[in-house]
Each structure stands twice: as C-alpha cells, then as structure tokens.
C-alpha cells in the first residue's frame, strides 16, 4: 500500500467518503465499518462543503485546513470553546478572527 496524499478532513467529509466507498465497492472493510458506526452517533453539520468554504473565505492567514477540519468536527459555539480547541495547535488568533469563525459556525449549529 502506498500513501498518495495526506490531508486533514472533517468528520462529515469522512462520512461522505465512506458512503461513496459503499456505493462503489458494495462492501467496506472492518475499519471503515467501525468509523461509520462512530459517525452515526456524533452530531455533525449537514453541509460540510458550505461551512468549509465559508471558513476558508474568511481568509484568516494562520487558519490551515487541519484547523478548519477541527472546527467543523467540534462546532464551537463561543470564543472560549474555540480557544480551547485551538490550544493544542500552534496557532494564535485575534479576537475579531475568533468572532468571525464563531459567527460562521453558529449558522450551522
């Protein structure tokens, strides 16, 4: 097996890819089944492409795809929650940038 590309994706995007695999292959492997089971029990945003685009369109310089995926997975509804999930990442954002992100997330919660 050869890794072709490595990129962070959100949980809703993962669900989309698993459903596509099921359509294509008719049967998925054990690991994919476990992920699918997990994805069924967690809340997730329905239109992940739209929220991803909106977060990218904010053009916050230090916000990377891995941060966007993390935000979509957790959907923080206030600035303190957003700060908490970004604490483990190597990123510091201004309060107005945090507010812009939270405002986008609130539209999808």
pLDDT 10s digits, 15-61 = 999 999 999 998 899 999 999 999 998 877 888 999 999 999 999 99
Predicted confidence (pLDDT) at residue 72 exceeds the cutoff of 90: yes
Q: Output DSSP code: residue 45.
A: -
> 23 or 109: which carries more pLDDT confidence?
23
Helix (H, G, I), strand (E, B) or coil at 22: helix
pLDDT value of residue 26: 82
Distance CA 78, CA 99 (A): 8
Model-level pTM?
Answer: 0.82
- Match 């669900």 to its residue by tokens: 15
Predicted confidence (pLDDT) at residue 69 exceeds the cutoff of 80: yes
Based on the number of CB atoms within 10 Å of its own CB, is 76 exposed (0-12), middle (13-18) or buried (19 or more)? Answer: buried
Q: Output DSSP code: residue 60.
A: -
Predicted confidence (pLDDT) at residue 2 exceeds the cutoff of 80: yes
């Amino acid at each position: 097996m050869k890794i072709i590309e490595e990129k962070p994706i959100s949980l809703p995007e993962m669900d989309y890819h698993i459903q596509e695999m099921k359509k294509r292959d008719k049967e998925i492997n054990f690991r994919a089944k476990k992920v699918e089971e997990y994805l069924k029990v967690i809340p997730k945003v329905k239109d992940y492409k739209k929220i991803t685009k909106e977060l990218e369109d904010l053009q916050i310089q230090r916000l990377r795809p891995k941060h966007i995926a993390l935000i979509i997975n957790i959907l923080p509804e206030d600035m303190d929650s957003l700060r908490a999930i970004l604490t483990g990442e190597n990123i510091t954002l201004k309060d107005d940038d945090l507010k812009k992100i939270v405002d986008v997330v609130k539209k999808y919660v």
